[in-house]
Structure 1
Amino acid sequence: MNTQRKLQGVNLISGLRKGKRCGKKRESPGETARTSYNSRKYQFGFNLLRILKMNMGNIYLKQRNYSKAIKFYRMALDQVPSVNKQMRIKIMQNIGVTFIQAGQYSDAINSYEHIMSMAPNLKAGYNLTICYFAVGDREKMKKAFQKLIAVPLEIDEDKYISPSDDPHTNLVTEAIKNDHLRQMERERKAMAEKYIMTSAKLIAPVIETSFAAGYDWCVEVVKASQYVELANDLEINKAVTYLRQKDYNQAVEILKMLEKKDSRVKSAAATNLSALYYMGKDFAQASSYADIAVNSDRYNPAALTNKGNTVFANGDYEKAAEFYKEALRNDSSCTEALYNIGLTYEKLNRLDEALDCFLKLHAILRNSAEVLYQIANIYELMENPSQAIEWLMQVVSVVPTDPQVLSKLGELYDHEGDKSQAFQYYYESYRYFPCNIEVIEWLGAYYIDTQFWEKAIQYFERASLIQPTQVKWQLMVASCFRRSGNYQKALDTYKDTHRKFPENVECLRFLVRLCTDLGLKDAQEYARKLKRLEKMKEIREQRIKSGRDGSGGSRGKREGSASGDSGQNYSAGSKGERLSARLRALPGTNEPYESSSNKEIDASYVDPLGPQIERPKTAAKKRIDEDDFADEELGDDLLPE
């Protein structure tokens, strides 16, 4: 750099000296042309060197070598003459961006402050606001936002007003309404609004003691500027911020105030109010505000989607589909309407059309777990489990820790008969969410089928912790202990269950039978309790029968225990059919346990785990063969010599 300056100085001095020697002698035309050519050649080389250094700075910036990038930018800036103000501004913006990426916000602030003082522009004002936000200077944030608002747009909207008495003027106005210059002006205005809205949303929560006061300050500043129409958008953003903080009353209050504005703002406010009331299950209010939003702006796809949602909630699926279709006609990129129309077709059992909707949505949202899951669900409803499994595998690739998706995969593999794959996915689902009672049921049944009683006990104990009021889990644990040969632990578990559920008939039956088998004296005590409980149950049933006004109909469903819900059948429930036969064989509670004072107590019971598998009688078979062989008479030829 210094060498270039010295060379330039030497050339100027030599030129001055040459002029002194020449005096007033005029140059010939050839010498003048030669001097002009040399000057242009020198200027071209100078510009080429400056562009080279700027590009070197860009390369170092891409490589995140910020110190060298700043060095080359400054070298290029030194070679730009002060008259070329636009070029100097662009280089200084690059320097500011490099400082921001390097985390040197103070240096970046200096660069952008200089730019805003020389030639204010939207990008510099926006970056300056971000830098002051990064350093946490509230007052400077306000000043930077005001500078950003004050940047002139240099757009004349009056020239696009068509009505005029001169037909030639009207033709010109119509011709320039959508020309390239007008499109550039629209883009510039949209960019300015984006910068202002983003800056306001960024600084509003921090410039005052509360975010509401910060939004109010930003709204007042915007109202006093050329961007008056953005004030209503800021108010809507304020309401959305209240929603994120779960302050629904304040949000509703702000949105209701905006209902009195122009049609665009009114439609946006009514759309948000409709969504709020819909989430609050107030479908009447949601439908009312959806109607207001649609009437204010018939081409608002969000308003039409909300209206369709309210109709869908009332069960009119055909009409809901019409609103969703209209929303798609107004905006083909409205993914919410496309998703909802797929759900509507699923409700109408038009599965092929629902599948088409979700496949189109999948082409737009490639990695949406919700869309992938809906496609898998449609294939399952179409009784195509292989395709359902394939799409669910894609869901797992997007959200590998979703326990519901993993349990669904296990269920499909279980239906297909692949127990090993089903166990793998059920176990993964249990690992991520160990409180799903259906998954615990299946895993317990799996270990019972494979006769790993100790493993099954772990899952039934977990189920008893999740549902402590259900006696069936304690009975299953006790049965597993008995099957594994740990009779003492089984007896302790039955006793503990009896203390928790003293009126449970099945538990007393197990205790009577087990104590009898073990020869314990407690058998008589438990038998007396069982007899007394049966008497109480019989008296209760007679009272119920007599209270039916002499109706001779059959008895209704009887309670399996005195507590009503403590002896319910294990196989009851929508998922019970998928469990193994042993797990479904809990003590039946539909038949009352008959007993009377004149009859001996029947302490028989049905094992919750089913009948025990008989062992192969190989030893008995061998003994029979030996006996048969011993009865045969030996001939002389078989006797030893």
Structure 2
Amino acid sequence: MNKKLIPVFLLIALLANPLNARQHDDPSSHLFLEGVRLYEEGLFTEAERTLGLYLRSEHTPPQRENALFYMVQAQAGQNPEHAAFYYEQFLQEYSHSQNARALLTEIGNLKKRDGSFSEAAMYYERAVKLNPPYEEAARIHYHLGESYGEFHDYDNAAANYNTIADRYSRSKLAPEALFALGRLYLNNKKFDESANAFARLRQLYPLSPEAGRVGTALGESYFQQGMYAEAVEALRGVLASLDEEGEARAVFLLAESSNYLGNYDQATTWYRRYINLKDDTEDVRFAHYGMGWVYHRQEVYHWAAESFGRAAVGDDELARKALYYQAVNEKLAGRLENAYRSFESFGNRFSTGEWIEEAYFEWAVIAFEVGFYGEAIEILLSMIRNVPELNNPGDVYTLLGEAYFANNEYTSAIAAFDAAESAVEIDDDIKRQARFQRAWVMYQNNAFAQAQPGFEQLYSEDPSAILSGEALFWSADSYYSMEDYGTALAQFDRFVREYPNHEFAGAAHYSIGWSYFKLGQYDRAIAPLRRFLSEYEAPPIQLFPYDTDTRLRLGDAQFAMRNYSEALTYYNQAVGAEPGGDYAMYQIANSYYRMEQSYEAVSTFRRLIRIYPYSTLREQAEYNIGYIYFLTGNYDQAVEEFNQLISRSPNSAWAARAQYNIGDAYYNANRNEEAIEAYRKVLRNYPRSDLIIEAVNGIQFAQSAMGDDDTSNQILEEFLAGNPQSRTADRLRFRQADNQLQAGDYNGAIASFRQYLRVTNDEAMIPEALFNLADAYEQTNNMDEAIESYRNIVENHRRSERYEPALTSLGRIYNDQGMYDEAIASYQRLIDTSTLMRFEANIGLGEGHLAKRDYNSAQQFFERANELTPNSETAKIGLGKVAFHRNNYDEARRIFSELAEQSTMEPGAEAQYMIGRIYQSQRFYDDAIQAYANVRVLFNIYEKWVARSLLRSAECYRAIGNSSEAENILRNIQESYPGTDEAREASQMLRGR
């Protein structure tokens, strides 16, 4: 700010004019002169004090206006931010003086500098009305033109520039005003007016610098408006007449325009000329940056990277962008190592501001692609911390999830995919991708039960959307991996029907065959496997020989159906395959054995051992040779073969089994002492074998055959004493109990688990043992003891993985026994104390409240469960039952009908059953009978609901008077479903007929 508006010579003039001749009569004039001197010297505080003394003189000071004029400037000098306020104090008293004009102009300048252009124009307008001198008037009008232009009042701006040209044509500002007027018109696309202004400038002031800039101004204006061809024409026309600086500017604009027009050769020429003109200055960076784009657009990425690299000097915006594009072009050129270093340099130089997200993301992508997963994670986390609002959060968190997954950090991967899905502003397809990846991480981590609902939900929401086909396929495969082959089969079948041309269609047929195979439906496995084999095209490099595997499975299916000749056909097709040839030969031998061709079987096993000496089946083949001799009663040869296996492979799993069978061979040969010694060798030589318990049992049987006392338990305890590793002992005891449980010996399992709990020191296994003990109690219908075992887990092992399942089991038992308050308390405790199994807890709470006829609460919990797992079939069943019990049959029928049509699983069966219940409750018995019949037709594999449907059908037949049909149905239930609750109820109905 210019704080000395009135120079000293003006002060002298003021004091010398007649108006000021009275200073000799002014006793305080020395104060006025001293104050002005102090002001001129920049001593504003002293100037204000001295001028204030002058203004407060007893008589009216002759120089009052000038003194006040200087004093407000002194005040402004001390507090520049309040300058306008001080000046206004002067203007209140002297609004039309020469000093007022100076202050009004100065306030306008202040407002203009602050960006308050409207206010600036107001003050300039006041100043120009005070009749300023010629040149000053021109300058004020020029300020007015600039201010009006800044707040887009272009008419007034043009009017003030025209005023200068018309009224003040001799002013040195006249050429500038015409130039500004031309630029103003150009920027507003008023090309005729612009041409007139520039023509007038050239005519009136041909030698002015502004006249020489007309061509450049036109070219630059065209450039800014994207009219690049016009810019090139205008700039070429004036290039020869420009000074050095103007020439450089014009050359740069020519280069940029040619670049935009795609005239890359010309652009390169102009950029190089600009570099020569601006050599050894930082301005050349702009030309290098432009040349980078020239090369990039021509896909010469390595040259583009070099040019961008020359522009990436410093820390300004240009350097930031140039470094980013240098890295991008290095990546496009395949120079990943260079690109990684450039992005790393970007990250080290710039942590905030523009391009951060893009640069960090590309940096992380390269790190991920080259296998630097830890570095990719750190880069993405740094970006997330430094960028408050990500533009593409879905992409960022999805990549972060993939990096965590690749780095085996599965929990963090899931959290990242959750974050990607929750980003509201991202595209729905990206959200679906994130949700798919979340499920995929769990699938890859073998968490199939957790992955499957995510896959199925993606498919169910919109079968035609992106990734829906893949989601259905992997949902089916998740069921397969969970050994739920029936559900897997249904979903694979749906996949091939809805996506027959999908790239996974062949794999789906293959999986359908496998599913039938696993279900034991070998005859139905053959057709899809044959179809896969006929349609399968092996890739040039295949990681797994699916054609060989399919032939082997076809052989296995025929083998399982005892069609051994057909099995041999497929196995022989796979002999010599790698891998798989050894298994084919192994199964050929087994087929011969099943065909009672023992010689061919043994010969084939020996050929397998000779041809595939390193096969994983070698020891088993050796074992089978001995076992064939064992089964044919040739015990001596069997013992010899088993001993050869032990000698050749003493540390294999088959060696322990061979040693055990030596004991069995001796036992069958009535050589019991040798049998006992063979069994003891199992204990001595293979203490980690799974056959320890069987060997002890063998000792027991041999001693019994000899008439000796049973010392098998003592031998087992001696074994445990000789193998004092507590976990080994625990595992043996636990396995013994668990084997009994799996074998259905529930009473034996109860005794063994109780004994295990008494002696174990393994705290980690106690909850597992308690849970299995509770299961055994449930199987024997001892619900009180089951409840006690589950409660033991809940009360004493809260950190166990069995804590949540125990609570859900308690809730289920309580609900089944009609103890609904206790069930509700168990499920509520699960919600209050854990974040796991929330869905199951809400379902249980809904069922408990439903049973208590608290339909409002039941509906709330079922809806909450549906929110946790959207479109949950179990939750829909609950909501349908709420509507049913409220007698809202239309709503209940809508829910159950949709579910029965969409689901091929057990909820679909229950929904179809409930449709029958609705009709039966409304006394529409014919409709009810048809609905119940549909349960048998559509869901025949779910026997519980078939039996219940039959039972309710019998009730309907009785209701319409057809007692004979009702009796036939009830007897059918007794015969087809013996031992079930439905069979017992059928018996009661028959007795009460």
- TM (norm. structure 1) is 0.55
1:394 match:
349
1:221 aligns with 2:200: no
1:422 aligns with 2:373: no
Question: More helix by proportion, 1 or 2?
Answer: 2
Distance 2:479 2:382 in 1: 41
- For 1:123-138, what aligned pairs fall within 5 Å after superposition? 124=103, 126-130=105-109
Quick one: which amino acid aligns to residue 74 of structure 1?
Answer: G
Which of residues 476, 489, 505 in structure 2 aligns to 1:512? 476
1:305 match:
252
Contact 1:379–1:385, Cα closer than 8 Å, also in 2? yes
1:117 match:
97
Distance 2:420 2:81 in 1: 56
1:94 aligns with 2:41: no
1:304 aligned counterpart, secondary structure: helix
1:91 Cα offset (Å):
5.6
Quick one: which amino acid aligns to residue 418 of structure 2?
Answer: Q
2:405 match:
448
1:479 match:
440
Which of residues 125, 128, 144 in structure 2 aligns to 1:145? 128
Contact 2:356–2:383, Cα closer than 8 Å, also in 1? no
1:187 match:
none
Which of residues 285, 294, 304 in structure 1 aligns to 2:230? 285
1:465 Cα offset (Å):
7.2
- After superposition, the C-alpha distances for 1:577-598 in whole angstroms (9 at most, x for unaligned) are xxxxxxxxxxxxxxxxxx9796
- For 1:474-623, what aligned pairs fall within 5 Å after superposition? 474-480=435-441, 482=443, 483=445, 484=447, 485-487=449-451, 489-496=453-460, 499-501=463-465, 505-516=469-480, 517=482, 519=484, 523=488, 525-533=490-498, 537=501, 560=503, 599=531
Quick one: which amino acid aligns to residue 184 of structure 2?
Answer: K
Contact 1:410–1:426, Cα closer than 8 Å, also in 2? no
1:309 Cα offset (Å):
1.0
More displaced, 231-240 or 376-385? 376-385
1:404 match:
358
1:222 Cα offset (Å):
1.7
Quick one: which amino acid aligns to residue 530 of structure 1?
Answer: F
- After superposition, the C-alpha distances for 1:400-421 in whole angstroms (9 at most, x for unaligned) are 8942344355457666943453
2:901 match:
none
- After superposition, the C-alpha distances for 1:104-136 in whole angstroms (9 at most, x for unaligned) are 537436359959835698x64521435799795
1:235 aligns with 2:213: no
Which of residues 373, 386, 390 in structure 2 aligns to 1:433? 390
1:144 Cα offset (Å):
0.9
1:308 Cα offset (Å):
1.4
1:504 Cα offset (Å):
5.4
Quick one: which amino acid aligns to residue 385 of structure 2?
Answer: E
Query: Structure 1 residues 520, 220: CA separation in 2 closer, same or farther (over 3 Å shift)?
Result: same
2:883 match:
none
1:307 aligned counterpart, secondary structure: helix
Query: Structure 1 residues 374, 216: CA separation in 2 closer, same or farther (over 3 Å shift)?
Result: closer
Distance 2:80 2:127 in 1: 16
Distance 1:339 1:323 in 2: 12
Contact 2:87–2:103, Cα closer than 8 Å, also in 1? no
Quick one: which amino acid aligns to residue 108 of structure 1?
Answer: E
- After superposition, the C-alpha distances for 1:530-578 in whole angstroms (9 at most, x for unaligned) are 333465x3xxxxxxxxxxxxxxxxxxxxx7589xxxxxxxxxxxxxxxx
1:442 Cα offset (Å):
2.0
Query: Structure 1 residues 337, 308: CA separation in 2 closer, same or farther (over 3 Å shift)?
Result: farther
Query: Structure 1 residues 201, 115: CA separation in 2 closer, same or farther (over 3 Å shift)?
Result: same
1:202 aligns with 2:147: yes
Q: Which has the higher contact order (CA 8 A, sep 6+)?
A: 1
- TM (norm. structure 2) is 0.38
Query: Structure 1 residues 338, 75: CA separation in 2 closer, same or farther (over 3 Å shift)?
Result: farther
- After superposition, the C-alpha distances for 1:252-297 in whole angstroms (9 at most, x for unaligned) are 5654544534276576565455445546655333322332453664
Distance 1:416 1:69 in 2: 74
- After superposition, the C-alpha distances for 1:296-323 in whole angstroms (9 at most, x for unaligned) are 6464233222111123335565654553
What percentage of aligned pairs have identical amino acids? 8
Quick one: which amino acid aligns to residue 531 of structure 2?
Answer: K
Distance 2:399 2:327 in 1: 24
1:230 aligned counterpart, secondary structure: helix
Contact 1:93–1:112, Cα closer than 8 Å, also in 2? no
Query: Structure 1 residues 267, 229: CA separation in 2 closer, same or farther (over 3 Å shift)?
Result: closer
Q: Which structure has the larger Rg? A: 2
Distance 1:437 1:626 in 2: 50
1:448 Cα offset (Å):
1.7
1:626 match:
688
Quick one: which amino acid aligns to residue 348 of structure 2?
Answer: M
1:340 aligns with 2:287: yes
Distance 2:294 2:158 in 1: 46
Quick one: which amino acid aligns to residue 470 of structure 2?
Answer: E
Which ranges of structure 1 fall in alignment gaps of 5 or more residues? 1-41, 61-67, 154-191, 538-558, 563-594, 605-609, 612-619
Contact 1:239–1:254, Cα closer than 8 Å, also in 2? yes
Contact 1:204–1:211, Cα closer than 8 Å, also in 2? yes
- After superposition, the C-alpha distances for 1:579-638 in whole angstroms (9 at most, x for unaligned) are xxxxxxxxxxxxxxxx97963799x9xxxxx99xxxxxxxx99x9653499799999xx9
Query: Structure 1 residues 374, 416: CA separation in 2 closer, same or farther (over 3 Å shift)?
Result: farther
Contact 2:401–2:414, Cα closer than 8 Å, also in 1? no
1:217 Cα offset (Å):
2.9
Contact 1:513–1:523, Cα closer than 8 Å, also in 2? yes
Contact 1:270–1:290, Cα closer than 8 Å, also in 2? yes
Count of equivalent residues: 466
Distance 2:367 2:479 in 1: 42
Which ranges of structure 2 fall in alignment gaps of 5 or more residues? 1-26, 296-302, 506-526, 537-542, 545-652, 657-682, 697-714, 724-993
1:511 Cα offset (Å):
3.7
2:154 match:
212
Contact 2:479–2:485, Cα closer than 8 Å, also in 1? yes
1:423 Cα offset (Å):
3.3
Query: Structure 1 residues 254, 502: CA separation in 2 closer, same or farther (over 3 Å shift)?
Result: same
1:211 Cα offset (Å):
0.7
1:499 aligned counterpart, secondary structure: coil
Distance 1:394 1:105 in 2: 45
- For 1:268-279, what aligned pairs fall within 5 Å after superposition? 268=213, 270-271=215-216, 273-275=218-220, 277-278=222-223
Contact 1:491–1:511, Cα closer than 8 Å, also in 2? yes
1:37 match:
none
1:455 Cα offset (Å):
1.0
1:74 match:
52
2:392 aligned counterpart, secondary structure: coil
1:532 aligned counterpart, secondary structure: helix
1:229 Cα offset (Å):
1.9
2:125 aligned counterpart, secondary structure: helix
Query: Structure 1 residues 357, 442: CA separation in 2 closer, same or farther (over 3 Å shift)?
Result: closer
Contact 2:219–2:235, Cα closer than 8 Å, also in 1? yes
Query: Structure 1 residues 228, 500: CA separation in 2 closer, same or farther (over 3 Å shift)?
Result: same
More displaced, 435-444 or 383-392? 383-392
Distance 2:469 2:403 in 1: 27
Say what the alpha-carbon RMSD is for the aligned residues.
Answer: 5.8
Contact 2:142–2:164, Cα closer than 8 Å, also in 1? no
1:396 aligned counterpart, secondary structure: coil
